[in-house]
Structure 1
Amino acid sequence: MTEKLVGDRLEGRDTARTTGVSAPCHGQSTRQHAAADAEMDADMILVRGGLGLIGSDRFYAEERPVVEAEVGDVWWAPHPVTNAQFAVFVAETGYVTVAERDLDPGDFPGADPELLVAGSQVFTQPPGPVPLHDWTQWWRWQPGAQWRHPHGDEEQESRRWPGPQVEHWSQIADHPVVHVGWEDALAYALWAGQDLPTEAEWEHAARGGLVGASFAWGEELDPGGDVLANTWQGPFPWRSNDRRGHHRTSPVASYPPNGYGLFDMIGNVWEWTRTPWTPDHRDLVAPASPSLLPSSDGRRASSVGAATPVGLGAPPQQDRPVSGSCCGGHQRPVPGEARASVTEQDRMVTKGGSHLCSPHYCRRYRPAARQGQGVRDSTSHVGFRCVTRAG
């Protein structure tokens, strides 16, 4: 289905192999049954809303306090947006992602001009144990890394990890798209006539109907020895012992769905939400629709959609949590002045953890886990999925 769709729409451009996933921001679920409060149509899964608990007081400070939040009914894509789906979007719109744009020297006064090039952050598996307090031991800024070439420089990467080399997105067409910033994810969602979920919507759906459980499937990470999500297996970050060969991202729906039939809500890739980052849950709020998206050249206009203004309200740098995370930090130069809409300094909440989350270091493979991600800090382990609100 995807092979025909991508082939028809790209018209001679990059084509994908058969992936078993469907059209933009949709997917075919292979689950055998639906929970009582979730329904399916041909492409999306309806998760019924209600009043529920958000957060946890058992893990990291930014997940506290546990609060009650009410969400509405939401139709969910069963899995994150794939490379094949994102390729259709780019082919139809000509969209250029954040990672593909050279940085404007005017926004980064005093920065080394050699650093002001298109690129993204790529996980770099070290050859042996490294100090876990220094995330730069396993992350690198890689010029040229972007969604089409998720591993960046193949020759350099080939010395750093045991898996097959990925020279082009079409080799992993059914994997989640990565190296996408928040604006990129939102642009896709608007093009598809959909949206990004709020933090509360995301956590409600990720729990799959379980109330207060640590994991999306219960209280044990690997019940009975079963690995239920793509998370780091082995000593982090220098050795991956994944028995299925998922040393980085994996094809969507490779692991069992949660109670609502949603795949990859935990692990594989972090997922963008449309909720501004706050250091805890005391002020848990969902923003209004975002302001006009910047176009592919960064100006305050968009060819793929528009919405109403929003104040992002990111906290000062000193207020952000500093607990250990596989997610690294900000490797782009600090801008000299803010842009319209969102700026280099703004953060949004990401949810779900990724294939880099490990019990040895970062236990964020849980519905309550949350991370503040710079809106233009694209990485090799952050993606997104789309939703449509019922009614």
Structure 2
Amino acid sequence: MSSRTTMLLGVGAVAAMIGTMSVVALWPHIVSSAATATACSLNAADLGTFVDIPGGGFVMGVGALYPEEGPPRRVFVSPFRLQAHEVTNSQFAAFVAETGYVTEAERNGGSARFQESDTPEVFRSWWSLDPNAIWRRPDGAGSDLAGRELHPVVHVTLNDARAYAAWAGGRIPTEVEWEYAARLGLSDPMDPESGVRAPDGTPRANIWTGLFPVLNTRRDGFAGTAPVGCYPPGRTGAYDMIGNVWEWTDSPFAPSLPRFTIKGGSYLCGENYCRRYRVAARESFEADFGTAHIGFRIVRDVVGTEGLR
């Protein structure tokens, strides 16, 4: 678990920043996604809809904050269709009911969950491998999907996501496609953080608000995952391209690293840590391992999609 935990957390100086402050007293402000509201999600009629992403060119990696995000380069993209929201628990449940699919977390001993800690200044203590954490029990033993049917499915690996996508008549987007669509959706292309908040400070995404990892103010309305579609869509009509959960892409992260790229940041990215709630941001993860903050959405090619689900 140690190498995977390191990749999960990335590189930061949170422990030094926290120092000797009384963090244990603040930790109860962190609550599970089960305690968040669910009234702001999409209408049932809009579930599973796709938006058209036109072909074109863009500069990938603009506004790089971390070294792995650059250098900027010109990329051209063919048109495709993008599911307007992250795949939900209800959608994944339909897939499992029809196919009998068993996820890798169910077969291989669980998944990673963010957890309370008596030593939050030690970043390795933020996560644990929970044998009871699977897609239908997102918070481990005793949890279920009641009230979270429209939350993004989590604890799914890239391999699980590929299996769902094939069943649903689509595929997992490449990193280039994902970033292109996310960039087209920005309300202000000149502001890399315009996907997070409006000029007046109104939240546009579900991220960590407050001091990570000890205080989540829930200024954006949520401490864990949010139902899909709780925030206004981007200019493409797609929701939650930034924040909520990281999203799998089908692109290797680097030639020398046997991991795949995830994009968009999550509800655990804050201003003081993991500022990867930007379209250029990227992180890597193993294809056969899932967590509480990674989900996915699917795409379809423009040609030959008639009659698909």
TM-score range relative to shorter protein: 0.7 to 0.9
**Pair 1:383-2:295 in alignment:** yes
Deviations 1:13-45 (A, max 9, x none): xxxx9974559xx736xxxxxxxxxxxxxx311
- Contact 1:215 / 1:221 at 8 angstroms: preserved in 2? no
Greater share of helix: 2
Tell me the residue number matched to 1:74.
80
Write the distance in 2 (CA, Å) between the matches of 1:259 and 1:381.
Answer: 25
- Contact 2:249 / 2:262 at 8 angstroms: preserved in 1? yes
- Contact 2:151 / 2:227 at 8 angstroms: preserved in 1? yes
**Pair 1:151-2:139 in alignment:** yes
Q: CA deviation at 1:47?
A: 1.1
Tell me the residue number matched to 1:139.
127
Aligned-partner SS, 1:137? helix
Write the distance in 1 (CA, Å) between the matches of 2:173 and 2:116.
Answer: 31
Write the distance in 2 (CA, Å) between the matches of 1:262 and 1:170.
Answer: 25
Q: Which sections of structure 1, spanning at least 5 residues, go unmatched?
A: 1-16, 29-42, 103-117, 155-166, 279-313, 317-345
Write the distance in 1 (CA, Å) between the matches of 2:164 and 2:44.
Answer: 15
Deviations 1:215-250 (A, max 9, x none): 3637x8552121110000111012211035411000
Deviations 1:269-323 (A, max 9, x none): 0001111111xxxxxxxxxxxxxxxxxxxxxxxxxxxxxxxxxxx514xxxxxxx
Aligned-partner SS, 1:70? strand
- Contact 1:214 / 1:366 at 8 angstroms: preserved in 2? no
User: Which of residues 232, 237, 240 in structure 2 aligns to 1:264?
Assistant: 240
Tell me the residue number matched to 2:104.
98
Aligned-partner SS, 1:75? strand
Tell me the residue number matched to 2:51.
45
- Contact 2:64 / 2:281 at 8 angstroms: preserved in 1? no
Call closer, same or farther: CA 1:62–1:244 in 2, change over 3 Å.
Answer: closer
The ranges of structure 1 where at least 4 consecutive aligned residues each deviate by more than 4 angstroms after the TM superposition are 17-23, 209-212
Q: CA deviation at 1:57?
A: 4.8
Larger mean CA deviation between 206-215 and 355-364 belongs to 206-215
Aligned-partner SS, 1:380? coil
User: Which of residues 70, 73, 93 in structure 2 aligns to 1:64?
Assistant: 70
Write the distance in 2 (CA, Å) between the matches of 1:91 and 1:170.
Answer: 17
**Pair 1:27-2:4 in alignment:** no
Tell me the residue number matched to 2:117.
126
User: Which of residues 90, 94, 117 in structure 2 aligns to 1:88?
Assistant: 94
Write the distance in 1 (CA, Å) between the matches of 2:194 and 2:269.
Answer: 17
Q: TM-score, with normalisation over the residues of structure 2?
A: 0.79
> Where do residues 139-288 of structure 1 align in structure 2 (5 Å cutoff)?
139-154=127-142, 167-208=143-184, 213-215=190-192, 217=194, 221=197, 223-243=199-219, 245-278=221-254
Amino acid at match of 1:54: M
Aligned-partner SS, 1:184? helix
Write the distance in 2 (CA, Å) between the matches of 1:352 and 1:374.
Answer: 17
Q: CA deviation at 1:174?
A: 0.5
Write the distance in 1 (CA, Å) between the matches of 2:239 and 2:273.
Answer: 24
Q: Percent identity?
A: 44
Q: CA deviation at 1:376?
A: 1.4
Write the distance in 2 (CA, Å) between the matches of 1:207 and 1:127.
Answer: 39
Write the distance in 2 (CA, Å) between the matches of 1:150 and 1:359.
Answer: 25
Amino acid at match of 2:133: A
User: Which of residues 252, 265, 268 in structure 2 aligns to 1:353?
Assistant: 265
Write the distance in 1 (CA, Å) between the matches of 2:118 and 2:235.
Answer: 39
- Contact 1:272 / 1:351 at 8 angstroms: preserved in 2? yes
Write the distance in 1 (CA, Å) between the matches of 2:106 and 2:217.
Answer: 32
Amino acid at match of 1:98: E
Q: CA deviation at 1:58?
A: 3.5
Deviations 1:65-89 (A, max 9, x none): 0111111111111100000000000
Aligned-partner SS, 2:210? coil
Greater share of strand: 2
- Contact 2:249 / 2:261 at 8 angstroms: preserved in 1? yes
Aligned-partner SS, 1:88? helix
Aligned-partner SS, 2:211? coil
Write the distance in 2 (CA, Å) between the matches of 1:353 and 1:179.
Answer: 16
Tell me the residue number matched to 2:6.
none
Amino acid at match of 2:47: G
